[in-house]
Structure 1
Amino acid sequence: MASAQMSPTGFLFILIGLAAAIVFIKCLRNRRRTQRHATLMNRPIPHAWQKYLEDNLPLYNQLPEDLKRQVEGHTQILVADLNWEGHNGLIMTDEIRVTIAGQASFLILNQKRSFPATLQSVIVYPGAYQAKSIKPTAGGLHTEGKQKVLGQSWDAGVIVLAWDNTKHSAANANDGHNLVLHEFAHQLDQASGAANGTPILRAPDRYRNWRQAMAKTYSSFLDETERGKKTVMDDYGATNPAEFFAVATETFFEKPRQLRKRRPELYHELCTYYQTDPLDWRS
């Protein structure tokens, strides 16, 4: 008995049906995610969590009430959405989650966008940890080794942080160093497909101004660091454009007055991108 064969038309209908089902499921998940986020944004934050924000984040205490509510809402969303893991004996607690999520929330104030959906996990170590490093050598070769680091942002949607430095850099809100702001800024940059110092901007016509301002200030910054001149930003920003953006983000929130004075074009672009001017609420 001959077996029945499916016609090309029938096979095509099955493919179309599968594609439609996938699109439907994705839309349903996105809708549920949006509804959940809206609920969390409007839900009062637990008192204990608010106390963590007040005790651990001096920047939070300087915010006007409307921005505090935004931080509280985004904090609850990030705590709920992300997978939080403690490594090397660190026991994950609400204080750790809220302290990290609260700082990250500053990067999405006054905006409809959040962090990219590809961001899935936050791994936290008690302190500096060993990570693989690849160093270029003569002749285009590379050597692989290990070095102690405080944080990383992986393009696979993972952020790794050292808890002791996370808490210390949050408590020192005027030194231009903030590990959480730095690594989460990398995630915003990586959402564009490559860590190149140019995140996804609000409108296509913004890219030209952004690239011009960044190229100009990055070139000037490289020149100053090579000459050993003291700059408002940490010299680590001279590593590459991606690190320049991350370091500029730290400085923008923690040393806004100095950054605006020394790098006005850069400051303007960051105000536009982050949709906030820290000088409006920094004391």
Structure 2
Amino acid sequence: MLYLVIFGLILLLIFYSISRIGKKKVAPFPQQWHPLLLERVLFYRNLSKERQEVFQKRMMQFLSEVYIDGVQLELRELDKILIAASAVIPVFGFEEWYYTNLSGVLLYPDHFNGDLEFDKKGKSRNIAGLVGTGRFEKQMILSRKALYHGFMNSSDKSNTAIHEFVHLIDKIDDFTDGIPERLLQQQYTIPWLKLIHREMEAINKNRSDIRKYGGINEAEFFAVASEYFFERPDLLEKKHPELYKMLAQCFKQEPGI
């Protein structure tokens, strides 16, 4: 009998040890971040006090799992705040979400080009953010300038960081194709594609207020429409009710309500 008890305790100890592998301690939320979030992040400001506390915990969980590095810049608290907020906003409707396809975020001072050059010598520096591939797999690269701008103007319907995190959500099934299989139930896939193509056609014929970049392909449409959804949900619902309804189903939330 004693041997069985000892054996059971050993199994429990092994199970506990395995369950702790890879789990990092989540730091407490710095209270000085709260006024910065209120000032900079409209989504957060529109939440109730209780939901703001949930948002804070989700931010800290994200920061415990993903590293953020500055490239030729010194990281500021605000950099971490806005990146973490951008990660939480699109998945806030889910009780738990882990960006399993992201290990780190590299923050550049300014826009960059396809060779990841951001100084004045680099040509065609027009990229504000991207989700890495190849040797940059599981990396996101963001321009600090674009990151700040996304939270500075709440009426322009665009936010680079949210755009890139939506690409990551889309890519969880290994395909960045505008069909977020983890979010969209199978029976909605065909109606979603029909809706995307109808809206893309309107964009490309200059008959839509959705940003023109959304007309490039299905993946970019999903990311651009999601920016609009989180930045100006009231306007999207008014001008594109069917798209608003579909995105609300995808993200399991209605921002501002």
Q: TM-score, normalised by structure 2?
A: 0.81
Match of residue 17 from structure 1: none
The answer to whether residue 202 in structure 2 is matched with residue 219 in structure 1 is no
In structure 1, the residue matched to 2:102 is 119
Q: 1:266 to 1:207 in 2, by over 3 A?
A: farther
CA distance in 2, matches of 1:124, 1:264: 35
CA distance in 1, matches of 2:98, 2:124: 29
Query: Which residue of 1 is the match for residue 128 of structure 2?
Result: 150
Closer, same or farther in 2 for the Cα pair 1:202/1:186, shift >3 Å? Answer: closer
Relative to 1, partners in 2 of residues 1:196 and 1:98: Cα closer, same or farther, differing over 3 Å? same
Q: Are the counterparts in 1 of residues 112 and 124 from structure 2 also a CA contact under 8 Å?
A: no
Q: Which residue of 2 aligns with 1:100?
A: 83
Output the aligned Cα RMSD: 2.5
Equivalent position amino acid for 1:47 in 2: Q
Q: Percent identity?
A: 22
Query: Which one has a larger percent strand, Structure 1 or Structure 2?
Result: 1
Q: Distance in 1 between matches of 2:194 and 2:249?
A: 17
Give the number of the structure whose alpha-carbon radius of gyration is greater.
Answer: 1
1:111-148 per-position Cα deviation (integer Å, ceiling 9, x unaligned): 13313222101010111112249xxxxxxxxxxx9653
Match of 1:80 among 45, 59, 64: 64
Change (3 A) 1:251 1:213: farther
Give the equivalent residue in structure 2 for 1:252.
229
Contact 1:52 1:99 in 2 (8 A): no
The residue identity in structure 1 corresponding to 2:167 is H
The CA distance in 1 between the partners of 2:110 and 2:144, in whole Å, is 6
Segments of 4+ moved more than 6 angstroms: 23-26
Native 8 Å contact 1:59 1:173 kept in 2:
no
Where 2:94 maps in the other structure, the secondary structure is: coil
2:154 counterpart residue number: 173
Query: 1:202: how far off?
Result: 5.2
Q: 1:215 to 1:97 in 2, by over 3 A?
A: same
Any conservation in 1 of the 2:155–2:232 contact (CA below 8 Å)? yes
For structure 2, the 5+ residue unaligned runs are 1-14, 117-122
Q: 1:110 aligns with which of 53, 78, 93?
A: 93
Determine whether 1:131 maps to 2:114: yes
Aligned positions of 1:12-51 closer than 5 A:
27-29=19-21, 32=23, 36=25, 43=28, 45-51=29-35
Supply the distance in 2 between the matched residues of 1:202 and 1:100 (Cα, whole angstroms). 22
Q: Which residue of 1 aligns with 2:187?
A: 208
Amino acid at match of 2:181: I
Contact residue 131 and residue 140 of structure 2 kept, 8 A:
yes
CA contact (8 A) 2:47 2:256 kept: no
**Matched length:** 234
Which residue, 32, 35, 50 being the options, matches 1:66? 50
Asked if structure 2 preserves the Cα contact closer than 8 Å seen for 1:70 and 1:109, the reply is: no
User: Contact 2:178–2:219 (CA<8 Å) still a contact in 1?
Assistant: yes
For the residues of structure 2 that align with 1:82 and 1:54, how far apart are their CA atoms? 23
Q: Could you report, residue by residue, the CA deviation over 1:86-131 in whole angstroms, capped at 9, with x for unpaired residues?
A: 11x2111222111211122111213133132221010101111122
- Secondary structure of 1:50's aligned partner: helix
Superposed displacement of residue 268, structure 1:
1.7
- Contact 1:182 / 1:250 at 8 angstroms: preserved in 2? yes
Matched, 1:270 2:254: no
Change (3 A) 1:125 1:183: same
Offset, 1:24: 9.7
